[in-house]
Structure formats: structure tokens, C-alpha cells
Amino acid sequence: MPGEGGTGRRWTTALRGVLLASTTDPRAIQTGFALLVAVDVALRWVGGVRVGLSLPAVSVLVVLVLLAVTFLSRGRLPLRAVEAVLVLDIAAVGLARLSPDGGSGLLVVLPALWLGRLLGRRGAAVAGVATVLLVTVPGLLYTGAEGIFLSRSVSIPVVAVIASLAIAGGMEQVGRAMETVEHQRRVSDATLDTVDVGLVLLDRRGGYVGLNRRHRDFMALAYPGGHSGRAGQVGEVLDSDGTTPLAAEQMPTYRAAQGEEFDDCRIWVGRDPLTRRALSVSARSVRDERGTFAGAALAYKDVTDFMRAMEVKDEFVASVSHELRTPLTSIVGYVQMLLEDGELDPVAVRQLQVVDRNAQRLLRLITDLLDTAQIDAGPVALTRAPCDLAQLVRACVDAARPAYRAAGIRLEVHAPAALPTLLDEQRIEQVVDNLLTNAMKYSSRGTEVCVELVVQDGRAVLSVRDQGIGISAADRDRLFTRFFRSRDAEDRSIQGVGLGLSITRGIVEAHGGRIEVDSQLGVGSTFRVRLPVAT
Ligand code: ADP
């Protein structure tokens, strides 16, 4: 039951506050003292001392009345009044001692401690004076200064003052340490506020424990209706495409609160296209000394200008490529027609063949640039139709044979008689051609390329294996990145611009497939494409 849990928690907090002297609530202080007095009375009862209508009984009454005062005032007593309550507690101890079965004078230590805790050195002085006047002097007057009584009566104020001074000194040190911590906090807050990166610190449960000024600006854009202070709240936060809203479990804060670490996770925040910002988010886990997850730190870098520049560049590349392709297609067409004309002299034919080769190369590059722009704009648009993948692969291999023959590389193909699928035939041809061209380009004379098509776990698996230059482990991670070329490829001056594999992956993934590579530097590579065979 929430009510009971809440009360239980309040009492535990109050008890901890009394024991650690960390509370300043007079109710908790007085309850602690009343309990101590009760334990003292109970112990004396067990020891056979009957407290009837006597001064010790009056002292208990005084303590209880003071307890009632603290509760009736709802703990909102001014400091002077709390001081008076503690002095009266000392007086109650003094009263309790005025009987043949006198109560324990050591109980003054508790009010003395609190006087030191609340009023510092002045509190220790008040505790000392009050103990002498209210406990020692009346006690000596009652018992006389003979025997053990003198030593007992004098040791009580001494112990009270020492305890009170000790806690006053401790509090002074704590106060100085707190000042230093507070100063450091202000310095680090000011420093973090000057950084042009949004910073957030989460606790182990995903609660926000800190954020800098820059991030408050981002939060205002992302959560115009306010934020709950917990990781994973959905708002005006969109995926890197700028249109798909992020679900709770996709939010960077949620992922970081699950212990995930990442870099350059791109998001857009804000609804208005004019004011919204693109952010690149990184997250790192914070661990305690035992290595247990203790929270996470996130950094949000504003990359709006970069993203807008990329958009402009993509649009520019797309439109320029488009404008270039039309005249180039006509050049290629007319050169072909001239080459087919048998009346040209052999020198002109050779020169036209050079023109043809280079125009074809230019056309391929422009087509690749256009494909890349299209992939950037969204998933590749497909025109799926029933298609025999085995026949398609064999046709691509046959088309590549003359080039392979000229390069001195053997070309093997193993494919079933037929493999019906539902694919975009032209796009898949582009995939197979790209892989065959690469396998040839990055292999040397006398080696072999083997193309294999099988069905595995309900998927068509096409592999192209070569014995070429291979790809290092570091390069394999970046292979499908646009414009990436391996150092080896550059060093050997093998022609290419690094677009083929990123386009190939775009096409394969648009079909719901996957492309992967196994390779060993200097031994060869195997590119594997897995495609669904749904018909
Ligand atoms: P391009 O071949 O035009 O450079 P790709 O995107 O097709 O562009 O390939 C990217 C890079 O991957 C190449 O530059 C090359 O370094 C490497 N690569 C691709 N295929 C192979 C292969 N079969 N063997 C070795 N390296 C390859």
C-alpha cells in the first residue's frame, strides 16, 4: 500500500537522520531523545527501580511535553525555540537525578550533541553552561560532594562539552567541504554551459541528473510541452531521414540508459522545418568502482549546417548527373553507329574505339552517381516481377566472359537449372555485374573466379569468389561506404570511384536481402548476397 510505504520510508529517513545527525527536524531530534529516556526508564524498571510520583517522573513528563510541542508546531520551530527545547531536555536530566535512584546523567550527551550540531561552538558553550547549572550544581546540592558524587557530577558537563565541541568541529569541516564542492559545481556548470555541445547525465534508472544550457535549447525544440526528466520520452524527435518519428526505445537516452554505447547517431529535433536542428549523438556508460552500470553521459553535437550542405550537394550531384547523362547517351549512340559503319579507315576506327571506351566509362560513373543520389533519397524503388534468378546469373556470367577472357581470368558458374523468384530483374543484374566486375578488376591474370547460386534456409545465396588482392579486416568495415577505396586498390592504380558496393548494398537491402564479405589479404575475397526467394 503506497500510504504505508510512504510513512515507513518517512520514519526510516527520520531515524537515519537522528543517528547520522543529518536531520534538523525538531520532531526527529526530540523523538530520539524521548526514546533514549524511555529506554533508561525501562532499564531501571527491569532493575527493580519503581518510578512513582517523583522528580524522575516529572522529568519524563517534561520530555513528553516538549515532544508534543515539536509535533504541534509541525517541526517548524525557530532555531531559538529548538535551543530552548534542548536546554529544557538537559534540565529534565538534572531533575531525574534528584532522587535516591537518580537517572543517568549521561543522557545530557544527546541534547549537547544537537546543540553543537545546530549552533556550532556557541551550542557547545550553551550545553556546557546548561549542564553545569541544571545538572551538576543541583546534583551536588542534592547528594553533597562526598565520595563518587563529585567525580560523577563534574564528568557529566565535561563529556557533554567534548561531544558538543567534537560535532561542532566536524560540522565546521563539513561546511567548508560543502563550500568547496559547491564552488567546484558552479565552476563546472559554468564551463559546461560555455560548450557548444548539448550534454546530459543520466542516473542508473534513466533519470536526468544534469544537463547544460545548450541541451536545454535542444530540449525546448524536442519537447515543447515539457519533459518528465526520464530517458526515452517521445517528442518532436525524428530519425536521420527527417520524417520518421522515433519510438521510445529508439531514443538515444533510452538506449544509453540500457547501457548501450554509440557514436554519431543522427536525429532531428523540432517540428518547424526552419528552426529544427540535426544532432549527432554519442553515448558512454558510467560505471562505479565495481564495474556496475551507474548511469550514462550523452553528448549532442549540432550538425544542421553539415546535413543541409549534404542535402544541397546530393541535389547538385543528382541534377548535374542527370543533365550530363542525356548528351552522353547520344554521344555513345552515335559513336556506336559510326563504329558499325564498315567504310571508316582503320586509324579512325581505333580512335573512335578510344572515344567509345571513355564515353562508356563516363556514362557508368554518371549512372552510379544518379543511383547513389536515389538511394540517399530513400529505399531504392523496385519493379518486382517473376524472374528466374539462375538464368539471370548465367546470362550475366556469359556477358562478362569476353572481358574475363581478355584479362586472362577463368570464370566458373554453378547454378541450379532454374530458381524462380520475385525480383527487380534490372537491379539484380546490376548487383551481379558489379560483383563480377570487381572480382575481375581486383584479380590478376591466371587466377579463377567462381560464381555459385544455391538455396539455403529458404533464401537464394549468390556467392562470387575470387583469388584476388583481398581486403584487410580494417577495410572490410568500410567497404560499403560511399566513395571508399582500399589503399591496395589505390596503390595498384585500379580504376574505380568506390560507389559500386554502396549501390549494390542499397539494391540488395531494398529487396529485403543482405550482402556480406569474407576476405583475406593476398588470398582472395568472397562476396555473398542473400535474397528472399518468395514467388
Ligand atoms: P570501385 O571498385 O569502383 O572502387 P566499389 O564500391 O565496387 O568501388 O568497391 C569499393 C572498394 O572495395 C574497392 O575500391 C576495393 O578497394 C574494394 N573491393 C571491392 N571488391 C573487391 C574484391 N573483389 N577484391 C578486393 N577488393 C575489393
User: How does pLDDT run across 6-32, given as a tens digit for each residue?
Assistant: 566 666 666 666 655 566 788 988 998
Distance, CA of 335 to CA of 340 (rounded, Å): 9
Give the Å distance between the CA of 412 and the centre of ligand 1. Answer: 20
Bridging pattern class, strands 197-203 and 420-423? unpaired
Is the same domain home to 432 and 490?
A: yes
* 502 Cα nearest atom in ligand 1: 6
Distance, CA of 134 to CA of 248 (rounded, Å): 66
pLDDT higher than 80, residue 122: yes
Quick check: is 439 in a domain?
yes
Give the Å distance between the CA of 241 and the centre of ligand 1. Answer: 27
* 527 Cα nearest atom in ligand 1: 23
Quick check: is 391 in a domain?
yes
Distance, CA of 328 to CA of 225 (rounded, Å): 54
CATH of the domain at 527: 3.30.565.10
Give the Å distance between the CA of 492 and the centre of ligand 1. Answer: 12
pLDDT at 15: 64
Atom 3, ligand 1: which residue's CA is nearest? 496
Is the same domain home to 295 and 350?
A: no
Is the same domain home to 146 and 61?
A: yes
Quick check: is 190 in a domain?
no
Is the C-beta atom of 368 inside 6 A of ligand 1?
Answer: no
Grouping H, G, I as helix, E, B as strand and the rest as coil, residue 82 is: helix
Quick check: is 181 in a domain?
no
Any idea what the Cα angle at residue 39 is, between residues 36 and 40, rounded to 5°? 85
Is the same domain home to 141 and 285?
A: no
Is the C-beta atom of 532 inside 6 A of ligand 1?
Answer: no
pLDDT at 101: 72
Is the same domain home to 298 and 312?
A: no
pLDDT at 18: 60
Is the C-beta atom of 480 inside 6 A of ligand 1?
Answer: no
Helices (H), 341-410: 346-377, 389-407
Distance, CA of 433 to CA of 393 (rounded, Å): 9
Is the C-beta atom of 498 inside 6 A of ligand 1?
Answer: yes
Is the same domain home to 201 and 248?
A: yes
Distance, CA of 388 to CA of 429 (rounded, Å): 12
Q: Which helix (H) or strand (E) holds 451?
A: strand 448-456
Give the Å distance between the CA of 498 and the centre of ligand 1. Answer: 7
Mean pLDDT taken over the chain: 89
Count of structural domains, the chain:
4
pLDDT higher than 90, residue 320: no
* Test site for ligand 1: of 368, 411, 442, 495, most ligand atoms within 8 A of the Cβ: 442
Bridging pattern class, strands 208-211 and 197-203? antiparallel
pLDDT at 20: 58
Give the Å distance between the CA of 275 and the centre of ligand 1. Answer: 40
Mean pLDDT of 117-127: 92
pLDDT at 17: 62
What pLDDT band is residue 462 in, cutting at 50, 70 and 90?
Answer: very high
* Test site for ligand 1: of 440, 466, 467, 471, most ligand atoms within 8 A of the Cβ: 471
* Test site for ligand 1: of 438, 444, 447, 491, most ligand atoms within 8 A of the Cβ: 438
Q: Which of 89-98, 376-385, 506-515 has the lowest mean pLDDT?
A: 376-385
Is the same domain home to 135 and 108?
A: yes
Distance, CA of 218 to CA of 211 (rounded, Å): 11
CATH of the domain at 316: 1.10.287.130
Report, in angstroms and rounded to the nearest whole number, the Rg of the chain calculated over CA atoms: 42
Mean pLDDT of 320-347: 88
Give the Å distance between the CA of 422 and the centre of ligand 1. Answer: 28
CATH of the domain at 229: 3.30.450.20
Residue 272: Cβ within 10 Å count: 8
Quick check: is 187 in a domain?
no
Q: Of 142, 175, 208, which residue sits at a domain end?
A: 175
Give the Å distance between the CA of 454 and the centre of ligand 1. Answer: 24
C-alpha cell at 264: 554519431
Is the C-beta atom of 525 inside 6 A of ligand 1?
Answer: yes
Give the Å distance between the CA of 445 and the centre of ligand 1. Answer: 17
Domain that holds residue 369: 308-377
User: How does pLDDT run across 465-475, given as a tens digit for each residue?
Assistant: 999 999 999 89
Atom 25, ligand 1: which residue's CA is nearest? 470
pLDDT at 14: 62
Terminal-residue alpha carbon distance, the chain: 58
Mean pLDDT of 376-397: 89
Mean pLDDT of 217-240: 94
Distance, CA of 286 to CA of 404 (rounded, Å): 55
pLDDT higher than 90, residue 511: yes
Mean pLDDT of 275-282: 95
User: How does pLDDT run across 140-151, given as a tens digit for each residue?
Assistant: 888 777 777 777
pLDDT at 373: 81
Is the C-beta atom of 489 inside 6 A of ligand 1?
Answer: yes
* Test site for ligand 1: of 485, 487, 516, most ligand atoms within 8 A of the Cβ: 485
Mean pLDDT of 263-285: 94
Give the Å distance between the CA of 497 and the centre of ligand 1. Answer: 9
Beta bridge mates, 283: 262, 298
Is the same domain home to 57 and 103?
A: yes
Is the same domain home to 478 and 429?
A: yes
Give the Å distance between the CA of 149 and the centre of ligand 1. Answer: 99
Is the same domain home to 44 and 139?
A: yes
Q: What are phi and psi of 268, to 5 degrees?
A: -115, 140
pLDDT at 3: 40
* 468 Cα nearest atom in ligand 1: 24
C-alpha cell at 289: 568502482
pLDDT at 453: 97
Residue 213: Cβ within 10 Å count: 14
Is the same domain home to 274 and 422?
A: no
pLDDT higher than 70, residue 250: yes
* 488 Cα nearest atom in ligand 1: 16
φ/ψ bin of 311: left (φ > 0), alpha (ψ from -120 to 50), beta (otherwise)? alpha
Burial class from Cβ neighbours inside 10 Å (0-12, 13-18, 19+) for residue 176 reads exposed
Q: Of 140, 175, 210, which residue sits at a domain end?
A: 175
Mean pLDDT of 304-310: 90
Which amino acid belongs to residue 268? Answer: W
pLDDT at 2: 37
Q: At what angle do helices 346-377 and 304-340 cross, to 10 degrees?
A: 150
Is the same domain home to 269 and 313?
A: no
Q: What percent of the chain lies above the pLDDT cut of 70? A: 94
Answer whether 269's CB lies under 8 Å from 222's CB: yes
Distance, CA of 147 to CA of 125 (rounded, Å): 28
Is the C-beta atom of 404 inside 6 A of ligand 1?
Answer: no
pLDDT higher than 70, residue 53: no
- 348 Cβ partners below 8 Å, 6+ apart? none
Residue 313: Cβ within 10 Å count: 12
Answer whether 279's CB lies under 8 Å from 246's CB: no
C-alpha cell at 342: 564498315
